[in-house]
C-alpha cells in the first residue's frame, strides 16, 4: 500500500449516527485515521505508547487497530526499500 493509498483510506469521514440522535463516539481506529489525515508528518512515526497517550487509551488497543497494523506494514516496506537502495550502490 502506498502513502497515497493510506491517505485515501485515512481521509474517509468518521461515521455519525442518524439525524436527531447523538453521534456515536469515534473508535480508536477512527480517531487515529482522523489524526493522521490532519497531521500525517507529525504523527506517522509515533510509537504505540505515544498513540495511546494521545488518544487516552491502552497500547494494546492501539496495536489492535487496522490503522496501526497498516502503519507497521508501511514502515517495514519503507525500511526494506531503503535497504534495497543501499545494497544497489
3-state secondary structure the chain: CCHHHHHHHHCCCCCCCCCCCCCCCCCHHHHHHHHHHHHHHHHCCCCHHHHHHHHCCCHHHHHCCHHHHHHHHHHHHHHHHHHHHHHHC
pLDDT at 21 over 70: no
Q: What is the pLDDT of residue 15?
A: 44
**Domain residue limits, the chain:** 3-88
Q: What is the pLDDT of residue 43?
A: 81
The model's confidence at residue 16, banded by pLDDT at 50, 70 and 90, is very low
Tens digits of residue pLDDT in 46-74? 999 999 999 999 999 999 999 999 999 98
Its pTM surpasses 0.85: no
Q: What is the pLDDT of residue 61?
A: 96
Percent of the chain with pLDDT over 70: 73
Lowest mean pLDDT among 20-34, 39-53, 65-79: 20-34
Amino acid at each position: 500500500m502506498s502513502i497515497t493509498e493510506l491517505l485515501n483510506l485515512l481521509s474517509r469521514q468518521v461515521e455519525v449516527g442518524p439525524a436527531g440522535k447523538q453521534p456515536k463516539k469515534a473508535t480508536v481506529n477512527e480517531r487515529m485515521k482522523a489524526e493522521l489525515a490532519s497531521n500525517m508528518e507529525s504523527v506517522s512515526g509515533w510509537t504505540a505508547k505515544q498513540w495511546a497517550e494521545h488518544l487516552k487509551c491502552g497500547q494494546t488497543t492501539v496495536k489492535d487497530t487496522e490503522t496501526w497494523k497498516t502503519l507497521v506494514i508501511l514502515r517495514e516496506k519503507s525500511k526494506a526499500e531503503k535497504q534495497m537502495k543501499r545494497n544497489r550502490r
